[in-house]
């Protein structure tokens, strides 16, 4: 019995891998300065105009990408499909209306400007 459960789990995991769609995680790095928040994401081999979508909503930047690739030779056809998505929380002072993105050499660089941090409001204390 003790050898049956691991073998059954292994067989089931292999079956699930074959029937479930493959999704991936986008590898990224981020950097925060006083004036901007920058995210760099690895997206090699994608067409940024067709395959990559960016959105800012509720304080999160979301990068969504889909790969659809098919190669055909005389006796063989191979294809790879996959969806990738990654969301990062933006700093509180992020200006979501002025986000800029650039794609070069398989790297997507997204720059989010930051608004000036408001000075804390001083509140007077009274005594009775």
pTM: 0.68
Q: Say if CB 85 and CB 62 are below 8 A apart.
A: yes
Predicted pLDDT at 6: 54
Mean pLDDT by 10 residues, the chain (128 residues): 54 47 74 95 90 94 88 82 90 94 96 89 90
Tokens of 47: 């067409």
- pLDDT at residue 30, rounded to an integer: 95
Domains of the chain, each with CATH number or no CATH? 23-113 (2.60.40.790)
């Amino acid at each position: 019995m003790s050898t049956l459960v691991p073998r059954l789990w292994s067989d089931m995991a292999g079956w699930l891998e074959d029937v479930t769609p493959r999704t991936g995680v986008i590898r990224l790095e981020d950097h925060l300065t006083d004036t901007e928040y920058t995210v760099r994401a690895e997206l090699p081999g994608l067409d940024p105009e067709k395959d990559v979508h960016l959105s800012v909503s509720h304080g999160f930047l979301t990068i969504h990408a889909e790969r659809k690739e098919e190669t055909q030779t005389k006796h063989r056809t191979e294809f790879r499909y996959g969806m990738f998505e990654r969301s990062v929380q933006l700093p509180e002072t992020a200006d979501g209306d002025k986000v800029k993105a650039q794609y070069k050499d398989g790297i997507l660089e997204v720059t989010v400007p930051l608004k000036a941090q408001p000075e804390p409001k001083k509140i007077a204390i009274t005594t009775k």
